[in-house]
Structure 1
Amino acid sequence: MGVRAGVVVTGTEVLTGRVADRNGPWLADQLRRVGVDIADIVVVGDRPEDLRDALAFLAGLDLIITTGGLGPTADDLTAEVVGQFQGRASALDVQLEVQIGGIVERLMVGRGWKTDSDATAAATRKQAMVPEGASVLSPVGTAPGLVVPPAVGRAGPPVLVLPGPPRELQGMWAAALADPLVAAALSGREELRQDTMRLWSTPESELSAALRRHSHELAGLEITTCLSDGELEVVTRYAPAAQPAYERLTAALTGDFGPALYSPDGRTVDRIVAQLLLERSWTIATTESCTAGLLAGRLTEQAGSSAYLLGGLVTYSNLAKHELAGVPLELIDRVGAVSEEVAEAMASGARWRLGADVGVGITGVAGPDGGTADKPVGLVHLYVVAPGQSLSRAVNLPGSRSDVRQRTVAIAMHMIRSVLSS
């Protein structure tokens, strides 16, 4: 089956959803890159018994990784609990205490903070407590990492203990992989490939039917699908020996779905739009009402976006639509702000005001209030205009205000892609 690892994400703030887990998915991807399959990601609160139960649940794997719980406060108990689980008592590492103390002092001076010396010393000692026989990974912040093997005579995998802040965890990852205990645990790893294809406006039922039709050709592929904002992502994991099967999958989905398979190589719509704009040396500008700049913001997420995005107008009121984007007030009075005609005028206004090649207009009712019988909540009009071409679309989107706005931006990105690809 190859080498398998499990991850325990600690922290009540993560468990209760106050903080999103960024470490589990990042570690899963990094493990896959080095040929290690992820078996489980378990999230637990700051309760020692729950952490022990999670470690016991994953004890049959080749490596366990924990994240978080290495700080100086009373609820940071990961190092101690992992040591107990592995049958190793913890003791003060004096050299590590001095190292952490120096880091803390520099941080305090840099921030201009005055702290109680006794409290700081106690916190530093807590972070310098190391299970007997563990390897220490040098801190990126103030918390060291640890590699804790099971006590002599006890079975089980080593536990790699990493800090919770993503910057610190990611900065420690190379050193963690280079640790002899971790390297030995992962010594049987094999290449594990992962490729992604993306489809737009394709029902999951149609994709499922296609996969069933071609199932006899796809041995050795682990295929997962995910639907988000109208986009279907097909992620396939496989060993090198199954490369021909993956090529058959690509050919089959291309034949079945044609242009709907807009990204057979895994590129996101954001990346494709950026590349198309750069290839044409075109610029783009937006006028947004219900999305209030979210589309312009998304267009800036690609590095180098200043080469093609000139700017965006947020025109929530009718007067702003007129004064900023040049939409005639009589047009708004005649057809209403939420209409194809106004979306077109907003797109044209963005081009005219900002001197862009491509203009996008968005106007709609995001809710939860403001809808009417003729223009209900979720109705959005979008318009994209470019040299010699244009594209209009009206949609009725379900969900919350946030859902409507997010889905609208996704639709706009694909409309821009469609215009640029034609």
Structure 2
Amino acid sequence: MRSVHRVSARAGIVVTGTEVLTGRIQDRNGPWLADQLLELGVELAHITICGDRPQDIAAQLRFLAAEGVDLIVTSGGLGPTADDLTVATVAEFCGRELVLDEAMEERIAAILRRLMGDRPGVDFDAVRAANRKQALVPVGAEVLEPVGTAPGVIVGGSPTVLVLPGPPRELQAMWPAALATEAVQQAISGRTRYRQETVRMFGLAESGLAETLREAQGSIPGFDALEITTCLRRGELEIVTRYEPDGADAYRELLALLRERHATALYSEDGSTVDEQVAALLAGRWIATAESCTAGLLAARLADIPGCSDYFLGGAITYSNEAKAELLNVDPVLIAEYGAVSEPVAESMVTGALHHFGADTAVAISGIAGPGGGTPDKPVGTVCFAVRAGSVAITRTLRLPGNRSDIRERATTVAMHLLRRALAGVDD
């Protein structure tokens, strides 16, 4: 990452919850909030995670205030149980008393009635009393309408503290309303106005990109005004560049250099993912899959991509040679001659998937994910791919690094990129 030092509004995030601290639940709120703040041009100082103990939450609030942040965003600890103490802790930190917001208490009661319905044997008054603490707010605080049963709270000041619920669905739905409040707008009023662009590459080593960026630093005027973050995942490189409007010329020159140096690897200049591109290219087609070592991961990925499910007919998982022969009509003689992990067998699997599902597009993957299944000629990580899209056919054999899970994930990603090329009419 290339950092650019400038004065900007600063924020810190406090993720609360013993279940998050101990790893039983993965933190989804911290990264999501970080993304939102960065897009706004707010400099993120720290993300901290702490348990539900009031003294630990208070320690994080004091730490961030001492760091001089303008806005603290907390997530979690707004429920009705005894360990949900974030609001009370924030109130004490801000020097405010807690008072009952009677109108909010009525709204929470109405939500509870709707959720409970006419459930027999439930004491509604007891449930309402247990949830009343969710309507306790610091004096002078602004209250955000609940998405679940927990309202959000904003306490203006230096720093301003924005208290949001823990469930990601509720937090994300509440964010626009929080952002629109005067207190939050005032807290981030010093933010820098950034533009952000994302470029994606596949098949390029991170060291190759690093060399190009070093060249860019020495040859592009204004390059130091670009804040560049690179991330390598499963063979894909994501390059996110943030810059102020006067850095636009430098970014255009950088993009031109990336095109020149890495034309075959550069597949997205607008931030679109390979999944999104495949979904658009599949329109009007019918696709099927045939998999062995990936155990249906490609089929699951296609089925989960918005828009792809309309064109996905189904997939066959064929580990054994008998299954390949029976379900996909792969000739056993072909398997005996070349081996199950081979390009001829992968091509035959594609043909079988096309006929079995009545598709016009198909992808086949046959490989050795291990452990213990490889040979000197075909070590663990050897994966054969075959793709057919109309008259375009692509066949590849690659050796992928990593353990079983890594090989499966990487193979699925490779298959998506080969499919994208075939659908775009680019063959071998």
TM-score scaled by length of structure 1: 0.92
Alignment of 1:57-136 (within 5 A): 57-59=63-65, 60-109=68-117, 112=119, 114-117=121-124, 119-136=126-143
Q: Distance in 2 between matches of 1:49 and 1:363?
A: 55
One of 131, 146, 149 as aligned partner of 2:153 = 146
In the alignment, what sits opposite 1:254? 259
In the alignment, what sits opposite 1:274? 279
Q: Distance in 1 between matches of 2:141 and 2:319?
A: 59
For 1:93, the aligned partner's letter is D
Secondary structure class of the residue paired with 1:262: strand
Q: Check whether the contact 1:10–1:43 (CA below 8 A) recurs between aligned residues.
A: yes
Q: Does residue 330 of structure 1 match 2:336?
A: no
Q: 1:149 to 1:380 in 2, by over 3 A?
A: same
Residues 370-393 of structure 1 show CA distances to partners (whole Å, capped at 9, x for unaligned) of 444444332222111233332222
In the alignment, what sits opposite 1:285? 288
| 81-90 or 305-314, which deviates more | 305-314
Secondary structure class of the residue paired with 2:282: helix
Secondary structure class of the residue paired with 2:370: coil
Deviation at 1:23, TM superposition (A): 1.7
Across the two proteins, how many residue pairs are aligned to each other? 414
Runs (5+) with no aligned partner, structure 2: 1-6
Deviation at 1:113, TM superposition (A): 6.7
Secondary structure class of the residue paired with 1:202: coil
Residues 57-79 of structure 1 show CA distances to partners (whole Å, capped at 9, x for unaligned) of 22211111111110111221111
Q: Distance in 2 between matches of 1:113 and 1:212?
A: 69
For 1:145, the aligned partner's letter is G
In the alignment, what sits opposite 2:30? 24
Deviation at 1:88, TM superposition (A): 1.6
Q: Does residue 233 of structure 1 match 2:238?
A: yes
Q: Distance in 2 between matches of 1:420 and 1:356?
A: 14
Q: 1:125 to 1:266 in 2, by over 3 A?
A: same
Deviation at 1:117, TM superposition (A): 4.7
Alignment of 1:205-216 (within 5 A): 205-216=207-218
TM-score scaled by length of structure 2: 0.91
For 2:34, the aligned partner's letter is A
Q: 1:81 to 1:414 in 2, by over 3 A?
A: same
Q: Check whether the contact 1:219–1:242 (CA below 8 A) recurs between aligned residues.
A: no
Q: 1:268 to 1:333 in 2, by over 3 A?
A: same
Q: Distance in 2 between matches of 1:380 and 1:207?
A: 26
Runs (5+) with no aligned partner, structure 1: 151-155
Residues 390-409 of structure 1 show CA distances to partners (whole Å, capped at 9, x for unaligned) of 22222222323221111110
For 1:249, the aligned partner's letter is L
In the alignment, what sits opposite 1:166? 168
Identity level (%): 56
For 1:124, the aligned partner's letter is N
Q: Check whether the contact 1:108–1:114 (CA below 8 A) recurs between aligned residues.
A: no
Q: Distance in 2 between matches of 1:113 and 1:327?
A: 59
Deviation at 1:259, TM superposition (A): 1.9
Q: 1:212 to 1:114 in 2, by over 3 A?
A: farther
Q: Distance in 1 between matches of 2:50 and 2:381?
A: 37
| 261-270 or 84-93, which deviates more | 84-93
Q: Distance in 2 between matches of 1:296 and 1:212?
A: 40
Q: Distance in 1 between matches of 2:409 and 2:235?
A: 11
For 2:154, the aligned partner's letter is V
Residues 82-121 of structure 1 show CA distances to partners (whole Å, capped at 9, x for unaligned) of 11111222232232222212212221227x4744456523
Deviation at 1:251, TM superposition (A): 0.7
In the alignment, what sits opposite 2:198? 196
One of 183, 186, 194 as aligned partner of 2:185 = 183
In the alignment, what sits opposite 1:137? 144
Q: Distance in 2 between matches of 1:134 and 1:322?
A: 69
| 251-260 or 184-193, which deviates more | 184-193
Secondary structure class of the residue paired with 1:258: coil
In the alignment, what sits opposite 2:299? 296
For 1:139, the aligned partner's letter is P
For 2:341, the aligned partner's letter is V
In the alignment, what sits opposite 1:153? none
Deviation at 1:29, TM superposition (A): 2.5
Residues 26-82 of structure 1 show CA distances to partners (whole Å, capped at 9, x for unaligned) of 222323343333332222222222222221222211111111110111221111111
Q: Distance in 2 between matches of 1:390 and 1:262?
A: 19
In the alignment, what sits opposite 1:346? 349
For 2:72, the aligned partner's letter is I
Q: Distance in 1 between matches of 2:386 and 2:171?
A: 43
Q: Check whether the contact 1:321–1:327 (CA below 8 A) recurs between aligned residues.
A: yes
Q: Distance in 2 between matches of 1:171 and 1:386?
A: 40
Q: Check whether the contact 1:287–1:346 (CA below 8 A) recurs between aligned residues.
A: yes
Q: Distance in 2 between matches of 1:419 and 1:138?
A: 49
Q: 1:307 to 1:130 in 2, by over 3 A?
A: closer
